[in-house]
Amino acid sequence: MFDWKIKPLNLLSEKTEQYGFILEQNDKKLVFLGDEAIDIAEKINNKDIINSDRLLCEAFCLENEKDVKAPHEKHHITSQEAGILANTLQTKNLIISHIDNHILDRKKQLSEIKNEAQLFFQ
């Protein structure tokens, strides 16, 4: 009945022990990298996260906001970096999460983050 395989993925977080996961069913794969995706491709040498059907990844803010919002201090990444990461991991679809909650115009922010990520991930 429940034929999904779930594999924990140690994210090697520097702040605290943190896990993402790989969810597989038949030949489909979703990879979730938690909310600390900074340097994840270098930290995790795991062939299982490459070439997924979907990558669920955070994007804390736009690239031009990083000096003000300081995502890297929190081990977070920008939408540009999420797009680059998705390309690096050769994923087919990018799902962006963990967007800054302190924005008044949420719809505009989501549109801008999507547009910026699309510049680096098709």
Domain count, the chain: 1
- Domain-located, residue 112: no
Q: What is the pLDDT of residue 100?
A: 56
- Domain-located, residue 74: yes
SS3 per-residue string spanning 79-100: HHHHHHHHHHCCCCEEEEECCC
How much is the average pLDDT of 36-40? 77
**110 or 33, higher pLDDT:** 33
Contact in structure between 58 and 40 (CB atoms under 8 Å) = no
Boundaries of domain holding 51: 19-59+70-105
How much is the average pLDDT of 73-90? 90
- Domain-located, residue 39: yes
Query: Confidence class of residue 54 from pLDDT cuts 50, 70 and 90?
Result: very high
Calculate the alpha carbon distances from 10 to 22, 61, 62, 105, 121 in Å.
11, 24, 26, 34, 25
Amino acid identity at 5: K
Query: Confidence class of residue 45 from pLDDT cuts 50, 70 and 90?
Result: confident
Query: Confidence class of residue 105 from pLDDT cuts 50, 70 and 90?
Result: low
Q: State pTM to two decimals.
A: 0.82
- Domain-located, residue 118: no
Q: What is the pLDDT of residue 104?
A: 58
Please give the structure tokens belonging to residue 92: 């087919």
Q: Is the pLDDT of residue 34 over 90?
A: no
Q: Is the pLDDT of residue 107 over 80?
A: no
Q: Is the pLDDT of residue 76 over 80?
A: yes
Residues 6+ apart with CB under 8 A from 79: 59, 61, 62, 63, 96, 112, 113, 114, 116, 117
For residue 20, the cross-strand partners are 9
- Domain-located, residue 114: no
